Structure 1
Amino acid sequence: MEQVDCAVIGAGVTGLAIARTLSANGREVIILEAENAFGTHTSARNSEVIHAGISYAPGSLKGRLCVAGKQALYAYCAERGIGHERIGKLIVAVQEADIPELHKYVQLGAAQGVTDLRLIGADEARDLEPEVACAGALLSPSTGIVDSHGLMLAYLGDAERHGAALALNSPVLAGRPTPDGIVLKVGGAEPMELLCGTVINAAGLGAQRVAAAITGMPAGKIPPLYYAIGHYFTLSRPSPFRRLVYPTGREGALRAHVTLDLGGQCKFGPDLDWRDGVDYSFDASREAVFYQAVRRYYPALRDGDLQPGYTGIRPRLAGPGSSMHNSATDFIVQDASEHGIPGLINLFGIESPGLTASLAMGEYVLERVAALAH
């Protein structure tokens, strides 16, 4: 039987960041990925936004790791030459009645230590983004965008330079605790059993399934998984926006906000719907709802401007009717003190702002691993 110090299950942005941090701190690491490439699910199907940290409950793990991760991510991208841009974001109150929502973001941001937010009037908002119709806005200058594939490639390169190995097409089928560590049953073309001192379950949309396959894992400690799908439509002409634009009240169809990629392509989304599993099929019938939602703040959108883009699925811990940022949807990082299995750390619900938080999550998991050793 093969042996390894640490196994990280899942080669998305979170798993790669954790592997990078563990290996840089002298741990022997293997990354087990079920797919034939890294970052093929949530990490590749998102808005590629570097979030400021202004939407999360005070004291939440999401908020803490987002703010710390944002600062670390900007520094890392600059140092490593990874494509990114601090373009800023406008959160817009489409009507006067929406302006109190802007003040809520200011309060949430202040609770996380985000102090660069600025409330502006409709005239200044139009000066910044002439195509935006609003009654007022909140400017978040530290919001940005990043090349998520380039970022993951850099994380993987760092991990491999410190001796980590990536095993693709290596799904984890089961696990069992032993006095010497956790034995993982790994499938694929070359099935094997792997004895691991520490196992980090960072499998994203598969995290609940992996946890349930480990002998002795209490079912009551595995949170429910809801497949929250978001559609993105792209703008078929050059972007009229220079910043991200988010309307207030973003649940459901109203979450059709403006995001930009590093090439300047404008897209609108995501909306919010639910699937029964990992199903990325695009529901083109949502186009009419997108036109209606986007025209609330971008009235110059013309018929025919929207083209189907892509979909992404978040591993949500709360289902329909829940607020995206309530306490039930916080990140869960769970160790033996909570589930009773020595050496196992489970990560559940790592959705947005997981990309922004990735470097901070790596440090946080390293601390939890070190604590388990004492």
Structure 2
Amino acid sequence: MVAVELVDEVRSRLARAGLAVTPHAVAEALRAAGRPVGDATVLAVHGVLRAESVGLGPLEPLLASSGVTDILVNGPREIWLDRGGGLERADPSVGFADESAVRRFAQRLAAAGGRRLDDASPTVDVRLPDGVRCHAVLAPVSRPGTLVSLRVPHRMGLGLEDLVDREALTAAGLALVRRLLAARVAFLITGGTGTGKTTLLGAMLADVDPAERLVVVEDSAELQPSHPHVVALEARPANLEGAGEVPLRALVRQALRMRPDRLVVGEVRGGEVVDLLAALNTGHDGGCGTLHANSVADVPSRIEALALAAGLGREATHSQLASAVGAVLHLTRTPHRRLVEVGVPVRDPSGLVRMEAAIRFDEDGVAREGPAADLLAARVR
């Protein structure tokens, strides 16, 4: 283990001299500081500094692990990961030297994504060049130290059959989602954080007819479906001067002018729900997106809340929802990520929409029909 003070001193000397991190530069910095310059010391210091400046540094072994979807850094020595079965503590050998190292790591990732992270702007949410999504909060805003959350996309992209192998879909669920796609039913995928909404949406989009043009709009780009005709728009936050913002809602409107066969909103979380519902009511069949919701039954109230905040009244929202969305696919992660229910919107005599269950998938894979099964069957016929 290399002493933190030694690494800090070499780093400072290299930074002042504007030198790249090379074994020769490290050796010269050690000599100038009157430190030992043995091969082992030079290589050890070079390894630490190199890890700080390339890729995910000390987290690279976790990134290379099979099935890792999330890496969470809670300060220098507490690292967690998720391989799809829930959070687990990383090996104690994986970590950072101290809080300063975590802070530098977070700032480097932010810079790699073209964003700034410092005391004046202590939070960042950015997509890295390799597709990893990074969220970071600097201490002392965060405790017990700088916090970094990394969402790792699947390197090869998962297909629907892969989700069956992972028990996220049953055979009946696979058949149903393919019928939804073939019938061009507009749908939403719902669930909590980390339930696999984006993964399922990406797999479904990969199964869309190759002749169709997909226009994807996202707040932070995560969807990378294996489809031959995908174009994407990504929102941009305002800079520190408050200028340059490109909101998701504006991009949804722009996407409608790009001749989409399917409009895809990666995650509906704000006023863009109004434009999405409007688009799905103007001949854009087969559109889709994801939405955070506790259950299928909670979807109308969730959409109503988002739309009201954007200025659309309750009655208008429910009217739009009733005719825009044909099905809702709900995911959970108990005991693992899987599709548990498919619901359809039904309009009450009052004009308000409620969601009724059409299909429920038990833990043992059995599909059980709900009261709206016939209505769903009519839509995917």
User: Same fold by TM-score, threshold 0.5 exceeded?
Assistant: no
TM range (shorter): under 0.3
Higher strand residue share: 1
- The structure having more radius of gyration, on CA atoms, is 2
Which has the higher relative contact order, 1 or 2, with Cα contacts under 8 A spaced 6 or more apart?
1
Q: TM-score, normalised by structure 2?
A: 0.25
